[in-house]
Amino acid sequence: MYVIDASVALKWFVRENDSDKALALCEQALLGSLDMAAPDMLLYEVANILLRKIELTPSQVQNSIRQLLDTGISFSALDAGLIFRAIHVAGTTGASVYDASYVALALEVNGTLVTADRRLAKLAESQADIRMLDTF
């Protein structure tokens, strides 16, 4: 199971370094050759960045979120167990609780976090199995 964070999902909509690798990962998920998961917070995070930083229209952002929902990602609600685990990870690593929620989910599902965020990978490398997107 691969847990993806917003740094990976955004590359599906915004051309950046390693967008091709992110798109290949998405294609594998669509074909059913790998399973992906993310906290449902990913939807809000991606929508906010597309709307506020990339400055897409609300309609364009809604279409992007529809596409995200159609990828087959298993979205997990942030329940008490996951948020408490995220708080623990954040407290021990210095990562934000937002970023730590991806690490916490990877731990919960015994999966690998895939990220393009080098800072997060460095902070949390001792906590979970983390793979940088550029290694795919």
The CATH H-level superfamily of 2-135 is 5'-nuclease (3.40.50.1010)
CA 105 to chain centre: 10
Q: Does 4 have pLDDT greater than 90? A: yes
pLDDT category at 136 given cuts 50, 70, 90 is confident
Beta-strand runs (E) in 43-111: 74-76
Taking only the tens place, the pLDDT of each residue in 28-73 is 888 888 999 999 999 999 999 999 999 999 999 999 999 999 998 9
What mean pLDDT is predicted for residues 94-104?
Answer: 96
Report pLDDT digits (tens) over 71-88.
Answer: 989 999 989 999 999 999
Mean per-residue pLDDT, 120-132: 95
